Amino acid sequence: MHILYHASKEDIFGIGLIEELGRHGYKLSPGTLYPTLAKMQQAGLLTCECRTVQHKQRKYYKITRNGIRLLNEAKVKLRELYKEVVEGT
């Protein structure tokens, strides 16, 4: 969900995402993240575009319509969980 959220805000790339998620307490290695991004791409949740940055190839990922749909569904469930657990309703 966190990956889809960030991809919905801007194009994301692996190392940048590792750093962002690290600020939230997640400790991901490239060996964990990149296969996850590839699976999300195969599932049609993200698209990938290679760009040259500082003379190096970098893969940028963007959310798809299916990814947006899944993110929105997850937000509904997260709201329900928040109401139950935090608000006690």
Within 10 A of 18 (CB to CB), how many other CB atoms are there?
A: 17
The pLDDT tens digits of the residues spanning 39-80 come to 999 999 999 999 998 898 999 999 999 999 999 999 999 999
Residue 64 has what pLDDT? 98
Domain interval for residue 6? 2-87
Section 15-26 average pLDDT: 93
Residue 67 sits in a domain whose CATH number is 1.10.10.10
The count of domains in the chain is 1
Measuring CA to CA, how many Å separate 26 from each of 34, 40, 42? 15, 18, 23
- The answer to whether 86 touches 67, Cβ cutoff 8 Å, is no
